[in-house]
Structure 1
């Protein structure tokens, strides 16, 4: 069978924030930065290695509730583990948010271009992200997981996880400000539930809508089971379900209270089909399926044979019919077509002739075919024993049509040869040509 070879993509597992993603712009004070050491354990394919990173986290020293602030994490170089030069790479990860506000925030480094030599250290650099502040008080930031998608001729993902929870390296003093809103999770499938939080609102009711990415075109039917309100402390709490029919893609949650309207970005994905097969009776989070595709390309129908000539046993004339014997050179048939059509290997033989011009008829040679199917091959049938001819083809081996089943594999064919030499035969060296045809 002709074999076809497939390339591994690795694909990077993007790390997304478990907390809020928001739109409003920030008005914050100058940045506060802290540096520390983080012991990561990283893995690329089946290989694990340590990455003792020096990380500097930078964030505004102070801001207000509702502000969207830029946070940064500057990482030291990743140890060189790639056996090939790295042409380009991108980095994504997250920072843990704790204190007055909890969750995480996504950070990323734009694509960087090498090449980095084989086993050379890979610069990570400064990863940035946006955090919406929802609660007054001290909000702390600590390094969390990291993922590097490297291109070294083929893509590979390096996933790094802290061996223990790092301590905060930066903090933001969040003061009460204008209203703010956040949504969790930031990415949700059709039919999934979201929660809303926020601060700085007036006590009472609010309206919640799912709109397009610009926050303008809103459809009431895109959200169901909406429940949202503001308590006496100005904190917003709420929940809603994304409708099964809601359009997937980049969307916006818009919260309105009187003349005040705030929005937060939300990504809606297509709903994952319910578990099937062996996962049908198991919890969604504990069993998953992956569809694996394979393309099988059909190949040719071919034959080959052992090199050399067939030498029959010599005979000595004694006035009676003599018999010369021998064996056909082994023939190999490969059927790699991947279909249900059979094949036939046949032979024709010329008369035996000598340099002196004397002949022995082709019909004096008989064969007894033998055929063997290789491992996993479909059935093969040897032809009938009998004489050969110079015009009518005799079957050496054949594989019948599959009748709905696939025919194919590797086969060997041969035959025992038996030549009757008449008493009145001229002495000399005789030669005949056997022609084998595969069709």
Structure 2
């Protein structure tokens, strides 16, 4: 459930959004570490700001090929850009890997809770990850991208990218020692079989998994029919079938036994699909088919709001009831979940109060909702025109369930508002708070 608050002044309405993230620091053992300055450019909604981060990257000074090591990055505080208190946040990112192996290693931190005051600096702190070392040589680590997802009444994502390529801040000297492993063949088609052999292992059971090229992001479903054991002489024998759904490209077979892990490079190639009939009876050099796959990942249900306040038209008391009018700041709802569930956007309102202590009841304000769906989006309907209440939520916009059909898209929500000002109202400036809830 997402909530946003809008302040109505005499009447007036305010809308804001924010985000940021942190992680508790974790103790590091004997390790190589260095600190550097990394200028980032960050984006939250349509706002771009600079983050000149002080970053310390920590990793073991030395390790053996096949070891899985813990790497850490400690970031200085993020500038305070959130105009509302931040209730909770999570941090994730990457460290760039170069030298004896290349790629990136994901790093993250557990969810943290605040509150962080409005416009307060957000402590990022330490993020950690696991890197499997695939071979001997020097492996260098440098800060990469950073993403902070914060809840400040509404979910906000802050994406930070280095302005230029950061310098390496940690180096691991990787030796060739420890148990050895090899895979045959070194390149296999989806659905093909592989065998793994090795020496220097502890007699007993062992595990093998198919992972990315860095030995991380292992997927249990990528291998089938796995057998692995080590005899009394320390000789490893293992076999498995690569799943037809396994991702193609540079991968690694990772052998594990207790805390010891060894990664062996493996290339997975796409399996030729059976003919659909279009090429039946034709030579291979005259007709060929390629299977095209698409993965669609669902996203969140979020809302964002135009900044600023909503000022109602001023009124002058003349002994009769007066009417002040205005329009709410536009709210944008994005439903990127890729499912059949609908959503609703509702609001409650406090009474209007003045510095002199006089009030105008919340029910004196009525709204006339207006909702629009962007091209290609599913249906959305406005709520009924009528008064607002301090406790009973009124519907601004509603997107119904899809009844088995996928719904979603981008939607706009706003409303015209009208406030009845009684003839007995005291002179002054009045303020009320409208809370919008997306669920």
> Using CA pairs below 8 Å that are at least 6 residues apart, which structure has the higher relative contact order?
2
TM-score (norm 2): 0.42
Larger radius of gyration: 1
